[in-house]
Amino acid sequence: MSNGRERILQRAVKEIEDGMCVNLGIGMPTLIADMIPDEVDVMLQSENGLLGIGNYPHADHVDPDLINAGKETVTTKTGASFFDSAESFAMIRGGHIDLAILGGMEVSETGDLANWMIPGKMVKGMGGAMDLVQGAKRIVVIMDHVNKHGESKVKKSCTLPLTGEAVVHCLITEMAVFHFTDHGMELVELQEGVTMEELKVATEADFIVKSSSLNV
């Protein structure tokens, strides 16, 4: 794992509070399961019908029947429960998920999220992201700040097909943390070692800076 992604994950864990029911999206967010402190009691939920996901298993304790929505083998916590996907999506659509941490391809300055497909590439399904961004109480998106071509993924307007409009509450990248409010996209933290000048160069979107809350 790169230092940038490690920084993203370590910051994302701080969004999880004791007693929460949390859904971790496919990809980088699933790694958070192993980083939650033991003293923080949370229930991790998966769209494929599991509540109470534990850490990733050691090689000698892999059970191929225990998987998350990304088809990765997992463990279960004491008190875990199993159910069909219809029940799982009823939990999501019914507003019973406190926090969803999702990956992103693009996020706009108004909190739009694009994370389910790239046109022209094979997509096996949209997964549960569209339900999660509408049903979960809080949406945190974690992603690299720029793509492999060096282009900003934090956009004025998303160019990829949208998962949801104005659904993101918090965006965490290796460079910064943003909140989305009625006043716009607000910079709340600079990641360690990142300057404001570097952030502005890497960010297409316009954002608000409240200097009183930042060491800038």
**Tens-digit pLDDT profile for residues 36-85:** 999 999 999 999 999 999 999 999 989 999 999 888 999 999 999 999 99
Q: Is 72 a catalytic residue?
A: no
Could you give the CA distance from residue 190 to residue 178 in angstroms, rounded to a whole number? Answer: 9
Decide if pLDDT at 214 tops 70. no
Could you give the CA distance from residue 5 to residue 142 in angstroms, rounded to a whole number? Answer: 9
Query: Exposed, middle or buried by CB within 10 Å (0-12, 13-18, 19+), for 119?
Result: exposed
DSSP designation for 150: S
Does residue 91 contact residue 109 with C-beta atoms inside 8 Å?
no
Sheet containing strand 176-181, edge to edge, reads: 76-82, 50-53, 43-46, 21-24, 99-103, 139-142, 170-172, 176-181, 184-190, 208-209
pLDDT of residue 127: 80
> How many domains does one find in the chain?
1
Summarised one tens digit per residue, pLDDT across range 141-160 is 999 999 999 999 999 999 99
User: In CATH, what number is assigned to the domain containing residue 200?
Assistant: 3.40.1080.10
Catalytic residue among 6, 17, 47, 174: 47
pLDDT band at 216 (very low <50, low <70, confident <90, very high): very low
Residues 98-109 have a mean pLDDT of 98
pTM of the model: 0.94
Coil vs helix vs strand at 13:
helix
Question: What is the enclosing helix (H) or strand (E) of 186?
Answer: strand 184-190
Decide if pLDDT at 193 tops 90. yes
pLDDT of residue 126: 73
pLDDT of residue 196: 95
- What is the domain range of residue 95? 3-213
Summarised one tens digit per residue, pLDDT across range 15-38 is 999 999 999 999 999 999 999 999
